[in-house]
Amino acid sequence: MNQFTLAIHGGAGTISPKSMTSEKEIAYRAALNNALQAGYKILSSKGSSLDAVEAAIISLENNPLFNAGRGSVFTHDGGHEMDASIMNGKNLEAGSVAGVRGIKNPIVLSRAVMEKSEFVMLCRDGAEEFGRLQNIDFESDEYFYDELRHNQWKEAVALGVVQLDHTEDKKFGTVGAVAMDVYGNLAAGTSTGGMTNKRWARLGDSPVIGAGTYANNNTCAISCTGHGEFFIRAVVAYDISCLIEYRGLSLEEACKLVVNDKLVKFGGEGGIIAADAKGKISMPFNSEGMYRGFVTSEDSASVSIYKD
């Protein structure tokens, strides 16, 4: 097999077309293309899907346009708490971190948890301590500061609300990637800064294996973005895998059933990116838009924002 595929997302919801300037659109598209190229470089050189997923997400985490890594939103206490996870479809190994602070690239720490510990999920102080032992890069509070994010936070505090960061024309969302390498192995990863003004160490679906991230060579690789509470309750990522494994649905059928039917019925907004071991890709969403893109061994990079 010499085929490979890579899909990425930068969050569902999106800025409405009426407020999207040409400058903003150029910036978002360039960021998505850069992430695709980071993963493509690895896959085209017969590198692993796991490496490609990590590289693509690192690129997105390093860009303040997205609510992950450097662009993470502010918590109620005025800090940043980040979540991430990664999963290897070849052996079902997974790693995730929740509520970490100061970590430059939470996806890197998630992979370290998967490969260098006996655990799947670490959180807050413990995850950070583990990160130091693994020489993971930390950054100061100044690195994560963004004026737009700060203004969003002040507004949320004044109103006494916790906000999904993609609502009301304020979209800078969760990031993720899924990939199939030339060996047929699947991988998935997701990273986020969570919700603006969140408190009490709230966690969404991104660090939860089976909810926000899942990969299994026998079925598919999934990364989710949206209102995390609904994605956790619906166990979205694993549900899609089960529909393929136990009901024999195609990737496209399973993804659409969960995103456009099951989630919608109880108010869940968002979308997913998915890939299977046949190299097929699906990227459905039930919101106004989703920053997304894909590249394969046969197709050049393509990025989109709104419904086609």
Annotated active-site residue 174? The verdict is: yes
- As a three-state string, the secondary structure of 195-245 is CECCCCCCCCCCCCECCCEEECCCCEEEEEEECHHHHHHCCHHHHHHHHHH
Identify the CA nearest to 304 among candidates 286, 287, 283: 283
Identify the CA nearest to 178 among candidates 89, 95, 59: 89
Angle at CA of residue 208, ends 192 and 69, nearest 5°: 15
Catalytic residue among 5, 14, 75, 174: 174
Residue 6 near residue 56, CB atoms below 8 Å:
yes
CB atoms within 10 A of CB 132: 9
* CA gap 25, 31 in Å, rounded: 10
Residue 46 near residue 169, CB atoms below 8 Å:
no
* CA gap 175, 63 in Å, rounded: 11
Element (H, E) at 270: strand 270-276
- Catalytic residue ranges: 174
